[in-house]
Amino acid sequence: MSKTGTTKTAVVLFNLGGPDSLDAVKPFLFNLFSDPAILGVPAPIRWFLARYISAKRAPTARGIYQLLGGRSPLVPETEAQGRALEHVLGHGFKCFIAMRYWHPFTREAVAAIKEWGADEVILLPLYPQFSTTTTGSSLKEWHKQAKALGLTVPTRFACCYPTEPGLIAAMADLAKAGYDEARAAGKPRILFSAHGLPKSVIDKGDPYQAQIELTASSVARETGIGDLDWAICYQSRVGPQEWIGPSTEDELDRAARDGVPVVIVPVAFVSEHSETLVELDIEYRHKADQLGIPAYVRVPALGCHPAFIRGLADVVHRPQAFTGQACKLLGRSCSAC
């Protein structure tokens, strides 16, 4: 406790991270594919595979980040969210960023929290829907680094919040604005686009897909639009293995056949990064134009939307209230619970 008698609470924002320069692209990719949550093969094989994949993908990835000014916007986006959250939480709270695959790494966050002298820690993933490949991996890394650096203060964890009211209200607000914009070209179809996962991950019990469905259905209902045409789709498919679907590309094909405008809502991304600013804004927009889709409107990520930030503050104040809540709604349990 500080000299003023105020409890010092560190709020740790978990996120993926991104390269902060073009030179960082290859090591960022290596860190990503070195994670056993991403490549579930024995360590020696994973190391060689990570070297091979990162070297092979680096040139294409550098081209993507060149379009973004030579770096990922994810850290400054997360910093802005942290400042907005601190403003709502008030005195005694401080946000720290723990990126999984590039600076500021989890170890850096742990060291900064120790130096600040936190009395307690709240772990807050900026992944509303739990997956072993995102929140699960970040949590394991947190425990590893906290133990290594001797951070032993009381720590609470919010595993997921796919139906948190502020999250849903903010996403519905943005979706309605996009819907109104697209209406000039006909009755729109809302496509809730999420990052894809290999089907094998879901088959092992990962709750991500089921929680995406919870979020999308809640947002669709919250819009209040009668007879809303909407669907869920998944982007960023890579490699030969089977991925969950339908893909965003397939849904664009269907929209073209049906002759309807589309409104793309990032349902799993709360910050702008390469998958929204390049994949959704450039690549899929180009595909929509080629297909002759009447209108293509991409809704912004939640960013610092006031309702979303207030929702995050509620999660910080009541993390235990959200742990297991999604599983109760789904009538199941998962590793996060």
pLDDT at 47 over 80: yes
d(CA 98, CA 138) in angstroms, rounded, equals: 8
Average the pLDDT over 231-243 and give the result.
88
pLDDT at 330 over 90: no
pLDDT at 3 over 80: no
In a domain, 335, yes or no: no
- Asked if residue 207 has a cis previous peptide bond (ω within 30° of 0), the answer is no
Q: Is 103 labelled as part of a ligand binding site?
A: no
The confidence score (pLDDT) of residue 335 equals 67
CATH code of 319's domain: 3.40.50.1400
Residues contacting 244, CB < 8 A, separation 6+ = 196, 197, 198, 199, 202, 209, 234
For residue range 104-114, list pLDDT tens digits in order.
Answer: 999 999 999 99
- SS3 for 304-329 is CCHHHHHHHHHHHHCHHHHCCHHHHH
For residue range 169-217, list pLDDT tens digits in order.
Answer: 999 999 999 999 999 999 999 999 999 999 999 999 999 999 999 999 9
pLDDT at 307 over 80: yes
pLDDT at 95 over 90: yes
Least confident window among 117-131, 145-159, 323-337: 323-337
The SS3 of residue 189 is strand
Residues 23, 156, single domain; the answer is: yes
The SS3 of residue 119 is coil
Q: Which of the four pLDDT bands, split at 50, 70 and 90, describes residue 325?
A: confident
In a domain, 2, yes or no: no
Residues 169, 213, single domain; the answer is: yes
pLDDT at 2 over 60: no
In a domain, 337, yes or no: no
Q: For a pLDDT cut of 70, what percent of the chain falls above it?
A: 98
The confidence score (pLDDT) of residue 336 equals 64
Q: Is 87 labelled as part of a ligand binding site?
A: no
The confidence score (pLDDT) of residue 72 equals 96
Residues 285, 322, single domain; the answer is: no
pLDDT at 59 over 70: yes
The confidence score (pLDDT) of residue 241 equals 84
In a domain, 1, yes or no: no
Residues 67, 13, single domain; the answer is: yes
The confidence score (pLDDT) of residue 55 equals 96
The confidence score (pLDDT) of residue 337 equals 60
The answer to whether 160 and 135 have CB atoms below 8 angstroms apart is yes
**How many domains would you assign to the chain?**
2
pLDDT at 244 over 60: yes
**241 CB-contact burial (10 Å; exposed 0-12 / middle 13-18 / buried 19+):** exposed
pLDDT at 219 over 60: yes
Residues 184, 251, single domain; the answer is: yes
Residues 314, 276, single domain; the answer is: no
d(CA 155, CA 151) in angstroms, rounded, equals: 10
In a domain, 4, yes or no: no
The average confidence (pLDDT) of the chain is 95
Residues 36, 128, single domain; the answer is: yes
Residues 204, 250, single domain; the answer is: yes
Provide the residue type at 114 as one letter. Answer: K
Average the pLDDT over 296-311 and give the result.
98
The confidence score (pLDDT) of residue 328 equals 81
Residues 209, 275, single domain; the answer is: yes
The confidence score (pLDDT) of residue 333 equals 73
The confidence score (pLDDT) of residue 323 equals 79
User: 312: which 2 tokens?
Assistant: 């995050």
pLDDT at 238 over 80: no
Residues 57, 179, single domain; the answer is: no
The confidence score (pLDDT) of residue 173 equals 98
In a domain, 116, yes or no: yes
The confidence score (pLDDT) of residue 329 equals 83
Residues 157, 24, single domain; the answer is: yes
Residues 119, 243, single domain; the answer is: no
Domain that holds residue 94: 9-161+308-330
Residues contacting 101, CB < 8 A, separation 6+ = 16, 17, 18, 28, 31, 32, 35
